[in-house]
Every structure is written in C-alpha cells, then in structure tokens.
Structure 1
Amino acid sequence: MARKYFGTDGIRGTANQFPMTADNALRIGAAAGRHFRKDGLNGHRVVIGKDTRRSGYMLENALTAGLTSTGMNVLLLGPIPTPAVGFLTRSMRADLGIMISASHNPHHDNGIKFFGPDGFKLSDTDEAAIEAILEGDVTPAQPGNIGRAKRIESGRGRYVEYAKTTFPRDQRLSGLKIVVDCANGAAYHVAPEVLWELGAEVIPVGVTPDGFNINADCGSTAPQTAAREVLKHGADLGICLDGDADRIILIDEKGQVADGDQIMALFASRWAAQNALAHGTLVATVMSNLGLENFIKGKGLTLERTAVGDRHVVERMRAGGFNLGGEQSGHIVMTDFATTGDGLIAGLQFLSAMVESGQRASELVQNFAPVPQILENVRFDAGSDPLGAERVQSAIAAQEKRIADRGRILIRKSGTEPLIRVMAECEDETLLREVVGEIAGAVREAGKTAA
C-alpha cells in the first residue's frame, strides 16, 4: 500500500510545507503516542533529539504537544546525533525514540525519524499502524493522564561515554592530529569532545551552527572543506559527518577522499582476519561499487546487496545475523556497537585500525580500485513522473543495450527528495559519460511541468 507520510527514512519534507508543518507534526506525535500507549497505562516515555535546523524548535514543540496529549512522557535531549537517539531509546527504557532531522539535506528541509524500544528504526508494521491512526481521529488522554515533558541534560554525556567505550581500552589517539567536520549539525559538540578525550589533537570544522548553515559547504556532502583543512594543518586524518552524524566520509593525510565502500572494505577484511565478521558477510546496497564486490569475493567473503537505504541494510543484517553493512554514501552499520549508522563510532574504528597497524590513513583507505562510476541527480518538478515517460523508458532501454555486459545501470527515485538518481558503472569512461548523459537528459526533459 502506498504511504502518504512515511518514506524510506521516516517522514521528510520542506519545513512549513506538508507534511513538515507544525499542525501535522502535532498529529504525528499524537498518533505515535496513541500507538505506543495502546494499553492505556501511564508511565510510557519517549526521547526526542534533533539536529541544528531552525525548524527543529517548531517541530520539537509540536511533537511534544501531540505526544503528551495522548499520555506519553517526553524527554527532550536537544541537539544530538541520530545514532545517539537509537542508543538512548534503549538505554533509558523508552517506548519510542524520535529524531528531528533531514540528515544530509539543506536547512530548509526537515524530517522525523522513529526508533522502537529496541533502538532500531520502526518496522513497516508500526509505521503502517501510525499512518492508519493519522487517517482517523486521534483519541486524547483523559485530563489526569496527560503526559509531562522535561529537558534531559545528561543525554549527550551518556552518548559521549558510550562512544568512547567502543574504542579499545589499550589504545590512545595521542600524537594524532584529526580534522573533524561536523557539518554544523547534531555532532558539533560530541564528536570533537570524544576525539579530544581519547587523546587526539582536534581541529574542529563545521561547529558553529546558526540554524541555517547545516550541511552548507561542509560535512560529508562537501568533503573538500575538510580536505583543505587536513592539508593546511598537516593532519593525519579528516572525519566528515553529515547533519545528523549517521554518515561518515574520510580524508587521508594527502587530502584524498574515501567513501563508505572503501571503509566497509577495510572493516570487512580486518574483521574477517580476526574472525569477527559474522558469517563472513558484508551487507551493502545496489549503489555500492563493483570494485567493492570484487574485493570482497577476492577475500573469500560474501557481499549481499539490498535496496538503497540504511534501513534496508539493517533489516537484512538482523534477518541474517550479520554485523557489518552500510552504504557508499557513508552509512556504516556495526550492530556490535550501534543500531543504526554511526559516523563517529565508524571513525573511531578506523582510527583504531591506524593505531593498531601503525599505518597512515592513505595506506588503509584505498583497498580496491573502483570501477568507474557516475551518479547524476536530476531534480524534477512536483506533479511530474519522469520515470513513467515513454521517452525516458526508451532512453534507458537504448543505453542498457549499449552498455550490455560491460557495466550496469541503476535508475531510482530518491525517497527523501524530488530527485531521480541516474547511476552507471563501466570500465569505458567515455561510454559511461555518454550513457549517463543520455538518460539524465531524457529524465530532465520529462521532469519539467508546463508553466
């Protein structure tokens, strides 16, 4: 059944436009509260975190009103990474966790992500149940059962201390100079704090949020900013997080960028050598490079692919009992440590590899030669359906015939933005550019609505 509210990662949209309006957020909070307080008893609690977007204040207040109206007690964590909300939901025995964030999107977008009591993102069943409640009338609590709300100052400290426990006790970061770009987002306090307390010399970037500069020319979507700082300061490593810190991109000491595929390749090979990679399997999405697949197979390991989205990765990991997965974009999911992608903890695992091996970052991040890949994001107008257009279907068919057994093409609609993502891989880079250009051009034309 088509979803009206939930997409691939919670509910997302432009602030002050449906579904990201204050009145709708109040209804969402009330529906979620009614679903998780369906036994009618008091004492149920929900933790709410957010990133640094200006609209987060509006949505936080609206969600709180809706939740308390149905009898839920709300604990407000303030700006904190998405993985911290997953951790604290379980740690604080909450029935529900909510993160207000649009992740790597620009400031004018926002979103609502939900976590169940186990710290994992909500199941399809729970999301469908909340949508069903939203479509009807939400029954409020009796006056004596209205919930209460309060700010919790200890949440950030709890997460900081937990993150530090994921770094080996016998190792320190002393002598390492690290640039950490927090994207003016949710980790602007915790990431520099954790790295400094573990002994590193920290050069913070993107730690002056103003409500509008989240992900703006910084963070994992703009790693060039951190790369310049790495070279300027002669740093050993650059860590780039996104707005809610569930993604990571690395910069080696030469200023070279390493994406999630290279990070997963390193972790999979190291964990396998330590007999720590569950079932000898890495879970990645259809977007991961063929070079990663060849590398994993060359190690005698298995790569399982899922649909795009860290949620799909986690679902497959849980079903198969796997402990490592992620996305090329930088979601690194390590269920030994976290219930969702955690950029900071992934960075600590990489730093542990540097300390243990004595190798420089550049020796650890280039594990395989990527097959040439081009990804072009084509924005389309509201009301258009470019993938349903005959000209686009014809273009895709023609280019698939051209590339045949020499590569692959993947076309998909973004679940969080009005974008069609056109991706192709092929050793022939000239052919690759032509294939992507033809399809992207067709999509661009089909995605325009009449003025």
Structure 2
Amino acid sequence: MGKQFFGTDGIRGRTNQGAMTAATAMKVGQAAGSRFLRGDHRHRVVIGKDTRLSGYMLENAMVAGFTSVGMDVVLLGPMPTPAVALLTRELRADVGVMISASHNPYQDNGIKLFGPDGYKLSDEDELAIEALLGKDLALADAEDIGRARRIDDARGRYIHAVKRSLPEDIRLDGLKIAIDCANGAAYQVAPSAFWELGAEIVAVGVNPNGKNINARCGSTHPELLQETVVSSGADIGIALDGDADRLIVVDEKGQTVDGDQIMALIGSQWAEQGRLTGGGVVATVMSNLGLERFLQGRGLDLVRTKVGDRHVLEKMRSAGYNVGGEQSGHMILLDHATTGDGTVAALQVLAALVKSGKRASELLHLFDPVPQLLRNVRFAGGKPLEVDRVKAAIADAEASLAGKGRLVIRPSGTEPVIRVMAEGDNAGDVEAAVASICLAVEEAAA
C-alpha cells in the first residue's frame, strides 16, 4: 500500500488545507510519538521550524500531540533542517521534527521527521505512522503527560558543529562573502558562522516577517544574490533555501554555480585528498551529463538515483559513498551531516577557494554542461504517461537522442505536473524532444 500523507520529503501542502492543518499536525505528533515510545526511559522529541507564519500553529499542535502521548518536547525555534537532525542525536532524542516546506512559498508548510540517529525516517516508519493516524491512540495518564521547554543555546550548538566541518588550518580572513538566507531558517546561524571564521559578511534575506520566506530571494531566486555580489564587490555569494538544506553559489562575476558544479568540486577535491569514499559521487537522474563526463575523466563514478535527496542518501549509506546531492543544490556530506546541509557544503567550497588562491570564477566552473531543458506540464487528472500517443512521443524522442543524450520523464511527487527533461550535445535535438513530449502530454490531459 502506498503512502497517503508522506511524499518524497515528509508531509507537505497548503496551510489549513488537506493534510497541513493543526488537527492533522497534532495527530502526526501523537502517531509519531506512539511509534517511537520504545523502552522505559523518558522519551523526548526535538522540534525546529523555519520562519513561516504557520509555523507557530503547527508547532503548538505538534507539541500537544507529542506531550499527550507522554513525550517531552524540546523546542529549537527557527533553525535549519540539518540542525534539527544534529540536535536530535546530540540530545539523545527519540525523534526529531522539522516544520518547513523548504523552498516553497510561505502559504505552504510541511513536516519532516528524523529518527534517533538523525536520519530521515525509513519508508517502514512512515507507513507505520500513517497507519496510526486513523486509530484511537492510547493517551498518557495525567501524571505521565510530557513537558515542553525551549533551549536557548540551539543556535550556538549548531554554529559550533558547522565550524568544525572546516579544516582547522582554514580561516576565511580576507574573504568578502555575500549570503542570501531566503528570509528562512538560517537567517541568524549562517551569517554568524561565516563571520566567526573571519569573513566579511554582506547579508540579504535575513529579515523574515512570516510571509517573505523564499520570496524573490534564496537559492531558487538567485537574482538578488547576483546583484548583491556584483554591487558589493564580494568574492563569492552563497544562497540558501528556506530550511537551509540546499545552496546555490554565485561567483564574483555574478554567474550562478549549481549543485552539479559543487558536487564536481567537492568530489574531485576530496578524491585528491584521499577523503572520497565509494569511488565516486551519488546524484539523481537530473544531474547534467557534463558532470558524469567530468568525473569519468578523473576515474570517478557518477551513480544516479531517482529524484529526491532521500534516494541519494539511501544509496550513499548502502554503498559507502560520502558525497552526494542534487543539481538543485542539496549537498549531502556524510562525514559532517546526516542530511543535506547548505552551510556545511558552502564551507567546503570556501575552503577550496582559500586553498587554491583562485577567484571563484576560475575555481567553480569545472565543466561545460551539455544543453539541458526541463519543462513542466500540468494536468487535471488521470495518468497521461500511460496514453499511447504519449508513449509513442517518448519512444520517438528517445530514438532521436540515442547515443548523444538522455531523456527523463516523471510525475512530480508534490504537485499534478509531469516533468519532462532532455539533454544532449545538440540543443536543437533537445528542444525538439521536449516539445514533442510536452505537446503529447497536453493533448492527452485535455
């Protein structure tokens, strides 16, 4: 049986609609709490959130849910997703919760759950929690109801952990860094971490008001950072998303550097230093063919997974890789974190910049991406990918790209759209392939 609530990255949706209501959040707290009531110790959950207005509502609802089944709650306030994963382990908690819809607009929100090891929950645990949502769960006796408290040093703990990921002989003195925190969860911790390491900071996207998270800023809208880097004369720019588990880099000329280039840099540098495990890098089917060719030229593999950082992480853990990520900017560095961490990945980039003595534009563009085109086709219902005319269009496009490109077609896990991506050495062939498939899907969905 498939999951009804959990998607590719937790539960996510429009606030006060569907699954993203206070009532459901409380039930999720009760269900997750019941699932992790194991052993006779005093049980504990860590809850963090980003800066969305709805975070207050969902946080309070989840506190009610967890405490009602006998779990104590530790509240972190606005903190990055990787900070929640870290503190779940450090505080010996039984479960961790991040209330965030990542890069989505403020009207959306979501719930991500972590196990006591700091890793996102398995499919087995998510299915078990879903099964409990429809049941009347046993509530704690009056004397066993959980307590809730906030901890004041959560930011300091995370900043300390982030700084430890940088080699001890590296300082950022002399670097002018522009950082865009997307008015999100890292608006305090990321600028502080870079400043404490010696950098001069130009910060934007650090004035959250509950409604401006990801609004024309952050990793999904790098234009603000591009303008800031150029106008301030910064050496490099770092753009995080709303929950700070991904990043996009901007060089001193204002050119963007995506996750593929960042993986190429970190993977190749760690290989040279003898730090890379698994003999390569793990990425999704969306990563550019240019990355694969770059790594192959250095004797390294590119292992591809389905879209979603959880699939990347699963492959990394099962096969012994320590560098992985997504073109969108999720960077998973298992030597330092159990989930994607944009701030930690940014520090690896900055360490390479300091060691090389090069300008960012010289260091960060390691390969020329092949032409790649992605389009989304919205549909109202049904299964357009199973329609014969769509299948025929896909087969024709695959034949046209055979030996000189790739085609990836998939339904979105979070909205009713079909994502059509093609890449290849000839831009005209790529555009024609995508156009033909999109037209067929539109006609099938009409």
TM over 0.5: yes
In structure 1, the residue corresponding to 2:194 is in which secondary structure? helix
Report the CA distance between 1:213 and its aligned residue.
Answer: 1.2
Corresponding residue of 1:11: 11
Corresponding residue of 1:103: 102
Corresponding residue of 1:34: 34
Distance 1:308 1:62 in 2: 31
Corresponding residue of 2:394: 396
Residue type matched to 1:32 in 2? A
Corresponding residue of 2:171: 172
Match for residue 420 of structure 1 among 414, 418, 421: 418
- The answer on whether the counterparts of 1:220 and 1:240 sit within 8 Å (CA) in structure 2 is yes
Report the CA distance between 1:206 and its aligned residue.
Answer: 0.7
Distance 1:62 1:84 in 2: 21
Corresponding residue of 1:367: 366
Corresponding residue of 2:436: 438
- The answer on whether the counterparts of 1:410 and 1:423 sit within 8 Å (CA) in structure 2 is yes
Corresponding residue of 1:379: 378
Deviations 1:5-53 (A, max 9, x none): 11111111111111101111111110000011144x4510000000111
Deviations 1:100-138 (A, max 9, x none): 011111111111001111111111111111111113222
Distance 1:199 1:441 in 2: 53
Deviations 1:62-96 (A, max 9, x none): 11111111001011101000000011100111110
In structure 2, the residue corresponding to 1:229 is in which secondary structure? helix
Distance 2:81 2:255 in 1: 27
Task: Quickly say closer, same or farther: Cα 1:447–1:193, change in 2 above 3 A.
Answer: farther
Distance 1:19 1:378 in 2: 24
- The answer on whether the counterparts of 1:15 and 1:108 sit within 8 Å (CA) in structure 2 is yes
Distance 2:303 2:428 in 1: 30
- The answer on whether the counterparts of 1:42 and 1:145 sit within 8 Å (CA) in structure 2 is no
Corresponding residue of 1:182: 181
Report the CA distance between 1:230 and its aligned residue.
Answer: 0.6
Corresponding residue of 2:73: 74
Percent identity among equivalent residues?
61
- The answer on whether the counterparts of 1:102 and 1:110 sit within 8 Å (CA) in structure 2 is yes
Report the CA distance between 1:165 and its aligned residue.
Answer: 1.2
Distance 2:173 2:443 in 1: 54
Residue type matched to 1:387 in 2? L
Report the CA distance between 1:140 and its aligned residue.
Answer: 1.1
Corresponding residue of 1:55: 54
Corresponding residue of 2:152: 153
The range that moved more, 339-348 or 430-439, is 430-439
Matches within 5 A, 1:243-392: 243-381=242-380, 383-392=381-390
- The answer on whether the counterparts of 1:42 and 1:71 sit within 8 Å (CA) in structure 2 is no
Report the CA distance between 1:384 and its aligned residue.
Answer: 4.1
Task: Quickly say closer, same or farther: Cα 1:213–1:392, change in 2 above 3 A.
Answer: farther
Report the CA distance between 1:184 and its aligned residue.
Answer: 0.8
- The answer on whether the counterparts of 1:414 and 1:421 sit within 8 Å (CA) in structure 2 is yes
Distance 2:393 2:231 in 1: 45
Residue type matched to 1:17 in 2? Q
* Equivalenced residues, count: 446
Distance 1:258 1:12 in 2: 28
Deviations 1:300-346 (A, max 9, x none): 11221111111111111111121111111101110000001100010
Task: Quickly say closer, same or farther: Cα 1:443–1:370, change in 2 above 3 A.
Answer: same
Deviations 1:126-171 (A, max 9, x none): 1111111113222211111111111111111100111111112222
- The answer on whether the counterparts of 1:384 and 1:446 sit within 8 Å (CA) in structure 2 is no
Distance 1:139 1:446 in 2: 48
Distance 1:223 1:212 in 2: 18
1:208 matches 2:207: yes
Distance 1:367 1:218 in 2: 26
- The answer on whether the counterparts of 1:8 and 1:311 sit within 8 Å (CA) in structure 2 is yes
- The answer on whether the counterparts of 1:42 and 1:72 sit within 8 Å (CA) in structure 2 is no
Distance 2:226 2:378 in 1: 28
In structure 2, the residue corresponding to 1:275 is in which secondary structure? coil
In structure 2, the residue corresponding to 1:312 is in which secondary structure? helix
Task: Quickly say closer, same or farther: Cα 1:108–1:256, change in 2 above 3 A.
Answer: same
Residue type matched to 1:346 in 2? A
Report the CA distance between 1:356 and its aligned residue.
Answer: 1.0
Corresponding residue of 1:223: 222
Residue type matched to 1:62 in 2? A
Residue type matched to 2:305 in 1? T
Q: Which runs of 5+ in 2 are unaligned?
A: none
Report the CA distance between 1:205 and its aligned residue.
Answer: 1.0
Give the TM-score of the pair, scaled to structure 2. 0.97
Deviations 1:285-308 (A, max 9, x none): 111111111111110112211111
Distance 1:370 1:206 in 2: 29
Distance 1:377 1:201 in 2: 40
Residue type matched to 1:129 in 2? A
In structure 1, the residue corresponding to 2:278 is in which secondary structure? helix
